[in-house]
Amino acid sequence: MSAQKIFRTSDLARAAGVHPNTVRLYERWGLIPPVERTRSGYRIFHQSHLDCLKLARKIYSAPYPGRGFRALGNEIIQCAVADDWSAALEKARVHLSVVEAELERAEAAADLLEHWAQHLTEAADDPPLSIGEVARLLGVSVDIVRNAERNGLITVPRNSYNGYRLFRRREIERLQIIRMLTRAGYSHMAILRMFLELDAGNTRDLKKILDTPRADEDIFTAADRWLTTLQAQQKMAREVVGMVLEVIESGRIH
């Protein structure tokens, strides 16, 4: 059996396409296996370190999607660091299935939004509901309904006599859309962006608008462009499955 190839820090960094300081950082974070040292203190790396380093780099390459997805990615890395690549493959496949389910839900919510926008309810004379009645109807707290109004997602007519909010079918439908999109992962900023366009008369391309921050949105999060984030996460998750399979099939497991 041939001897294992030995990498110095600079060699490993070059092979992974990173700075040597990144190698040291990943070592400190436990994202690669424990590193042996020579008597003079130099680090000794092997192929297992390169495999784990490349895997961690790939998992962290996609836009940050939230703690749940990142936790799944970390589990894959830790299985690889422990040289349990079969478990890493199992975790990678779970990660991919979770991402694809989330993407499917986000796509479905956006499609329902566009269908709703093409069939907006005309003003009706149906009896208005109070904020408490609407909250019970939607299964949310009164504060959530109020916050939708505070955040500019909905404008609710008020009784001119006592100032009470008057929720009719149009307002209730809008709240249902807000709730659906929020549950599917879209941010309030993305929903507000979409409603601004809808209220201006644009009932087309709402799915694209949900996913495209405006020029005046100087700070945005992954949920402000949720579809793009999930699509990038899906691409990464598929590549991670391929990377883990490649290590297993190559026989590099120790």
Please give the full DSSP string across 145-173, using - where no structure is assigned: HHHHHHTTS----B-TTT--B-B-HHHHH
For residue 249, being part of any structural domain is answered with no
Q: Are residues 54 and 133 in the same domain?
A: no
Cβ count near 143 (within 10 Å): 10
Q: Are residues 9 and 118 in the same domain?
A: no
Structural domain total, the chain: 2
**Exposed/middle/buried for residue 100 (C-beta within 10 Å: 0-12, 13-18, 19+):** middle
Question: Which tokens in the block code for residue 147?
Answer: 């916050």
Q: Are residues 221 and 141 in the same domain?
A: yes
The pLDDT tens digits for 4-61 are 789 999 999 999 999 999 999 999 999 999 999 988 888 999 999 999 999 999 999 8
Whole domain around residue 118: which residue ranges? 106-228
Residues 6+ apart with CB under 8 A from 23: 9, 12, 13, 16, 32, 45, 53
The pLDDT tens digits for 90-117 are 999 999 999 999 999 999 999 999 999 9
For residue 150, being part of any structural domain is answered with yes
For residue 85, being part of any structural domain is answered with no
Q: How far is the CA of 49 from the CAs of 33, 79, 120, in angstroms?
A: 6, 13, 57
For residue 243, being part of any structural domain is answered with no
For residue 37, being part of any structural domain is answered with yes
Q: Are residues 48 and 110 in the same domain?
A: no
Residue (of 97, 54, 90) closest to 75 by Cα position: 90
CATH of the domain at 20: 1.10.1660.10
**Exposed/middle/buried for residue 248 (C-beta within 10 Å: 0-12, 13-18, 19+):** middle
Q: Of 77-81, 125-129, 142-146, 147-151, where does the model show the most confidence? A: 77-81
For residue 240, being part of any structural domain is answered with no
Distance, in Å, from the CA atom of 65 to the CA atom of 191, rounded to the nearest integer, reads 18
Mean predicted confidence (pLDDT) in 155-165: 81
Distance, in Å, from the CA atom of 23 to the CA atom of 213, rounded to the nearest integer, reads 34
Q: Are residues 126 and 183 in the same domain?
A: yes
For residue 75, being part of any structural domain is answered with no
For residue 236, being part of any structural domain is answered with no
**Share in percent of the chain as helix, strand, coil (round to 5):** 60, 5, 35
Q: Are residues 146 and 200 in the same domain?
A: yes
Q: Are residues 41 and 154 in the same domain?
A: no
Cβ count near 72 (within 10 Å): 19
Q: Are residues 56 and 131 in the same domain?
A: no
- 1 has a pLDDT exceeding 60: no
- What is this structure's pTM? 0.86
The pLDDT tens digits for 166-187 are 888 888 999 999 999 999 999 9
Q: Are residues 129 and 188 in the same domain?
A: yes
- Residue 219 Ramachandran class (φ > 0 left, ψ -120 to 50 alpha, else beta): beta
